[in-house]
Amino acid sequence: MAITAIYRSALAAAGLGLMAAACADNREAVELPEPASGHSVSVETVVDGLEHPWGLAFLPGGDVLVTERTGQLRLIRDGALVDAPVSGVPEVLALSQGGLLDVALAPDFEETREVYLSFASGTAQSNNTALYRARYEDGALLDGEVIWTSQMDKTGGAHFGARIAFMGDGTLLLTLGDGFEFREEAQNLANHFGAIVRLNRDGSPASGNPLAGEDGALADIWTYGHRNVQGIAIDPETGIVWAHEHGPRGGDELNIIEGGQNYGWPIVTSGLDYSGARISPFTEHGDDYTAPVREWLPNSIAPSGLAIYRGEAFPNWGGDLLIGALAGQALHRVVIADGEAVAEEMLLADEGRRIRDVRIGPDGLVYVLTDHANGALLRLSPTD
């Protein structure tokens, strides 16, 4: 049976159609207590003048690479933005949410100089998320090649996913979105909609992917049933893979990512469609779908960027998750205990800026990118 038919059959079994009755938004807000032991924080601007920055990576020696969604890779040196963009960047589809997206260094960067870029490729009528690998040498990407392209071939400029994270075994995870208009396909293992893939560094499917043996499944899929994952990070102490994804109207999720799992979108969700209609009557994940650790209800914070704090500058934040919020215009610190979210603090809420990415610097300080036409790299330091 086609995946769309399966989805509609599941809804019909509950006596509801795909666009179940639009109703008053009576979902309850899920509030967590504010942590009792945080830090007072000072915020300074490292650089501004970035055009919709999306991702950043710290180079050995202190330089910083920053992607701009419009297609440029920028270099920050000695606290200043270098005028000339880094050369050798692939051509991107800068359309709506698409463009040049994440940047990550290979774990052995100091030996190989390998840099990975994710980006939207193609045209408005036919596009995908792609992965590019090149060698970085002082302001230039050399010997670059596209090593992987998603099998989505979607229309429009929404929901590319595109965050990159390297696992301890040297393989990498790349997150993807459901293309917005193609949400039912997030349950279809024959394409990459709504998936997280696990790849070797040459773009080939990594061995041991648990879904590779299923009939018709793509060999590189690690997990599926996601909406639009724009934050992923691996805890260096526990090895736990954390990711969050956008809900529609509410229902943003924070998840622990485990290979082979189905995270339920769009069959099970607490979010509403933008019309106010229920996307699905099912809000309980049961045994078939992996439940989130945290949901944001009734409103979406639009999470983007995720870092796990393991540093010395903020001793009270050890193991906490730092999550950027676009719609929420804040940095969320989520306290985790035994795999559960137990407390939450909002930082930078008085800044009034969309937070696109968050990373922990080599100095143990927190760095965030603001998503604006005149975006900035900010640095957070403790004041106590």
Stretch (H or E) spanning 110: helix 109-112
Which residues, including other chains, have CB under 8 Å from residue 383's CB and lie 6 or more apart? 39, 40, 41, 42
- 226 CA to centre of own chain: 11
The answer to whether 52 is a known catalytic residue is: no
Which residues, including other chains, have CB under 8 Å from residue 200's CB and lie 6 or more apart? 171, 206
Q: Estimate the share of the chain in helix, then strand, then coil, as percent rounded to the nearest 5.
A: 5, 40, 55
Please answer whether residues 296 and 227 qualify as being in contact, where contact means their C-beta atoms are separated by less than 8 angstroms.
no
Residue of 159, 192, 226, 244 with catalytic role: 159
Q: Rounded CA gap, 94 and 132, in Å?
A: 16
Nearest to 56 by CA among 381, 334, 368: 368
Please answer whether residues 144 and 130 qualify as being in contact, where contact means their C-beta atoms are separated by less than 8 angstroms.
no
Q: Rounded CA gap, 154 and 202, in Å?
A: 24
Which active-site residues does the annotation give? 159
